[in-house]
Amino acid sequence: MPSLNFNSKKTGDNIEKRDIFRVAVCGGGTGGHIFPGLSILEAISDSIPIEVMWIGTGREVEKRILKTKEVKYKFEYKWIDARPFYGVELKNLLKGGFLLPLSIIKARGILRAFSPDILLGIGGYVAGPVIIAAYLSRVPVVLHEQNVIPGLTNRLGGRFSKKIFISFKGAERWFPKNKTMLTGNPVREEFLTVGEFKRDFQANGNRPWRILTIGGSQGARAINRLVSASLSILAKSGMKIEAVHQTGKNDMEYAQKIYNDAAIKANVVPFIDNMKDAYLWADLVICRAGAGTCAELSITATPSILIPYPHAASGHQLENAKELQGAGASIVLEESHVGPERLASTIEDTLRSPQRLKAMSVAAKKLARPDAAKIVAEEMIKIMTNKETNKKG
């Protein structure tokens, strides 16, 4: 079974072996799963020394994120061959069913060798066999669910778990009440320095309106085309606009040409490394409604127009977006019901009302849960230390 060792600063080489707790993490496939998991591990390591085994999909995006993350604990990564069961063709469903027992056996072998004190499931189809393997191996399981509508893995995994941490109140209905705890979605460490940042939308009189568009790390063609066309309409009508647009690799030239033709000062990039500063720069963000993005919008108090990805499993992005809209932090437009003219009108109406922008910003900040990772970490430490106390007793 292939593995990668990502070892950096160990937490105290002089610590006795039993004083180091072992945490296994399963799941991934996207940054939306991975970053909350890393934030939780960071919070745990701030309190107790840990070693980590991450069991993932083996996808390149996953390995890239984990390789570049500097950690202060021993970290090992392994992957197993698993397949999704939701939204797939029959032949893939049958293949997934055939692989499941093999995946469970492999996961049990990894867990037996690592001997974790706890398993954290962060979602994604690969987590399913690992959660089952942990349960069969009597390893305590906890889950973190990022979305309003949980994925199939977490929905089923809830019955094998000691604790389920949720990011949105609306997710409560999917899990047993006695196990479920509303913590919010952990954000990357850089966002924890935002503090009480206050926006002054009245100051716009001497500068263009600043609009940030996030097409997702891989790009979102529908949003790229829609937003660039809408901002072109607004600029040609006389509205002063400055844009930062994350397009992904494929639409950079297309979007830049639209902005150039409309004489819009625009910074078009495939990927934004410093997302915190991008949010803080913007007066308004136009983006999808992934759970991580929603958490970042909240902690940076950023007004937003959300256009949920229409093919997200179980429509979870639309439900995430509705939570922000219901709180007054965002405006939700469904992709199938919006064109450039309507989006342009919505952008203009929003920006022309500084009072509305301020109210959206305040509402977004009220949804922020900057202590999410710390709360999850504290609960996991309780489970691990209680387990250890019981062993000694």
Sheet holding 74-79, edge to edge: 3-5, 74-79, 50-56, 21-26, 118-121, 141-145, 163-166, 180-182
State the pLDDT at residue 10.
41
| Model confidence at 12: pLDDT above 60 | no
More confident residue, 125 or 52: 52
The reply to whether 3-186+371-392 and 192-367 are identical in fold is yes
State the pLDDT at residue 17.
44
Query: How would you classify the pairing of strands 118-121 and 209-214?
Result: unpaired
| pTM assigned to the model | 0.88
User: What CATH number has the domain spanning 192-367?
Assistant: 3.40.50.2000
Confidence of residue 89 (pLDDT cuts 50, 70, 90): low
| Model confidence at 97: pLDDT above 80 | no
Residue 217 near residue 275, CB atoms below 8 Å? no
Report pLDDT digits (tens) over 193-246. Answer: 887 777 878 666 678 999 999 986 555 889 999 999 999 999 999 999 999 999
Amino acid at 170: G
Report pLDDT digits (tens) over 306-361. Answer: 999 998 888 999 999 999 999 999 999 999 999 999 999 999 999 999 999 999 99
Distance of alpha carbon 368 from alpha carbon 275, whole angstroms: 16
Distance of alpha carbon 213 from alpha carbon 243, whole angstroms: 8
Q: Report the alpha-carbon angle 287-289-294, nearest 5.
A: 100
| Token pair listed for 197 | 């940042």
Class of the CATH domain delimited by 3-186+371-392: alpha beta
| Token pair listed for 299 | 């902690």
Give SS3 for 315. helix
Instruction: Tell me which residue has tokens 């499931």.
Output: 121
CB contact set of 222 (below 8 Å; sequence gap of 6+): 307, 335
The domain limits of the chain are 3-186+371-392, 192-367
Sort 99 into a burial class: Cβ within 10 Å, 0-12 / 13-18 / 19+. middle
Confidence of residue 5 (pLDDT cuts 50, 70, 90): low
Percent of the chain with pLDDT over 70: 88
| Model confidence at 100: pLDDT above 90 | no
